[in-house]
Amino acid sequence: MTTYNVGDLVSEFLYQNGVKNVFGVVSVHNIPMLDAIGRRNFIRMVPARGEMGAGHMADGYARATNGLGVVFTSTGPGAANAAGAIIESRFAGSSVLHFTGQTATANLDKNQGTVHDVYDQLGMLKSISKKAIRINNAQEVLEKLINAVEIALTPPMGPVSIEIPIDIQRTSIERPIALDQIKLPDINSEIGDMSSFDKMESIISSCNRKILWVGNGAKFAREQVEKFIEMGFAVVTSTLGRGVVPESHKMSLGAFNAVPLIEDFYKTLDLMIVVGSRLRGHETRDMSLELPKNIIQIDIDPDAENRTYQTNHFHCGDAKKVLDELANRLSEKLGLEEKWANEVNDLKNNIVNEYKSTLGAYKNFPEIVRKVLPKDGRWVRDVTISNSMWGNRLMLINSPEENIYPVGAAIGPGMALAIGASIGSEGKKTIAMCGDGGFMLNLPDLWTAAETQCDVVFLVMNDQGYGVIKHIQESMYGGRKFFADLIGPNFEDLAKVAKMKYKRVDHANELEKILDEAVKFVGPVLVEVNVHSVGEMPRYFAPPPHALKN
């Protein structure tokens, strides 16, 4: 019988915490942990074709489940390969545990040239993770694993890297009895300074035209946000805050947070409450978007105060608890007037109609995708012109778990995010809209999709190049399109090689029928949209204000 070792402890710890699937690449410096997962057979290990893809899969899994994603990489170059994925999960605030090995403790930090030994791996992991932890001996493993999970799940959430030297992984130990009581920790975030509530109550009571800007930190506060709607608040979200209430709600302006009509609307408002959002430069035209003058900001992170916009009042506390307390104080005093609700709903309709008018041949794509994708399906996107123009806004989102995209604006994660999301959501359909350029970056994981038979429709918008880059080159670089044209594969042949079902859209009126057939098929499907045949993509890029000053 195999002796119980630290690898077994890692495996059992994850299982006790409810982890059903992990992602990774098996390697010399993580075999004891993955061997334990294989022997015990309680957790499914999804073998990615590279560490970057594995990391994105764990991130997609965490977002789709609102839970814990887990990725295993090797040491040194293997851990470095996952850096982009760890950074993306940091952007997105995903609770991801990244397990990596290390050279044996006798060789640590001595630059002796052992296998996979790189300079200051822990320093690299510290720079990209919310926290990086090295386990120094077998006796501290359980304590540090518990600490890692708590850090990953504590708002603002993020990835935690755990470095376990190979000799420690192999060390035989007594099974800790405490494992039987292990479970995901209850995170008890603070409500904040109670004296601050009197001022917020006074400000809110004195304002009539009010809006709530909801970000990632409050996207699961549906009940609380609904109370604020009943008190007369309109709702707008960051892209990552989408789905806090269904975007079909008459008081929700969705993620149309920076279009001209909404900016004009902001000028008429008495108050904006920003809750759980950084008001990222990427979504506020590098902070040039003009917001209402009167802003209350609520955030769990004290460093968020005035980071991007000056606010009239900042409250540091847990979003749900703070909104609950304010609702308890104000719900009997405030209400939703029909005239105001109609104004907000009319504004949304005007925004949508104006926005659709810019999409040309693609104007009906958002409605078609929403119609075909089941209500609880996952909507995953890569960074593409189509996502920037309509995927991030017009395709209505019902809940936060549906809304998965690269927050850091990198191309390439879409395929792997979708695989992880599909596996995590257990039977709920996933559509992943990717560009052909981004699709190439993680192409080997197409075989991961085929192997796992994940239920994903890969909707590849093929314009045979980096379309976004070409738009930037046309706008700012005299139309010189250097290095943006790509030689890509024949996608039908590619699907055949991967033993995957394939469909192609050559005309806009074909999308609904073809996508509906793909969604009804069980297992991965590659649907290619021939952009050059369907029609010209809408113009994505306009130079930011600072680029026009010189």
- What would the pLDDT profile of 387-422 be if each residue is shown by its tens digit? 988 999 999 999 999 999 999 988 899 999 999 999
List, by residue range, all CATH 3.40.50.970 domains of the chain.
6-181, 358-534
Tokens 């952007």 found at: 91
**This prediction's pTM:** 0.94
Beta-carbon count within 10 A of 340 CB:
17
pLDDT tens per residue across span 135-172: 999 999 999 999 999 999 999 999 999 999 999 999 99
> pLDDT 10s per residue in the chain (550 long)?
468 999 999 999 999 999 999 999 999 889 999 999 999 999 999 999 999 999 999 999 999 999 999 999 999 999 999 999 999 999 999 999 999 998 888 877 777 677 667 888 999 999 999 999 999 999 999 999 999 999 999 999 999 999 999 999 999 999 999 999 888 888 889 999 999 999 999 999 999 999 999 999 999 999 999 999 999 999 999 999 999 999 999 999 999 999 999 999 999 999 999 999 999 998 999 999 999 999 999 999 999 999 999 999 999 999 999 999 999 999 999 999 999 999 999 999 999 999 999 999 999 999 999 999 999 999 999 999 899 889 999 999 999 999 999 999 888 999 999 999 999 998 799 999 999 999 999 899 999 999 999 999 999 999 888 878 888 888 888 889 888 888 889 999 999 999 999 999 999 999 999 999 999 999 999 999 999 999 988 876 554 444 444 4
Q: Could you tell me if 128 and 114 are in contact, meaning their C-beta atoms sit under 8 angstroms apart?
A: no
Gap between the terminal Cα atoms of the chain: 73
The C-alpha atoms of residue 435 and residue 413 are separated, in whole angstroms, by: 11
Nearest alpha carbon to residue 380 among 391, 389, 370, 371: 391
What pLDDT does 1 receive? 45
- 66 by Cβ neighbours in 10 Å (0-12 / 13-18 / 19+) ranks as middle
List C-alpha distances in Å: 179 to 10, 160, 176, 184, 544.
10, 21, 6, 12, 54
pLDDT given at position 12? 96
Q: Which class would CATH give 195-347?
A: alpha beta
Q: Cβ-count burial of 267 within 10 angstroms (0-12 exposed, 13-18 middle, 19+ buried)? A: exposed
Phi and psi, residue 434, nearest 5°: -130, 155
C-alpha span between 546 and 51 (Å, rounded): 37
Strand order in the sheet with 525-530: 403-404, 378-381, 430-435, 456-462, 525-530, 501-505
CATH number of 358-534: 3.40.50.970
Assigned CATH topology for domain 6-181: Rossmann fold (3.40.50)
Q: How far apart are CA 21 and CA 34, in angstroms?
A: 12
Given this model, what pLDDT does residue 550 score? Answer: 42
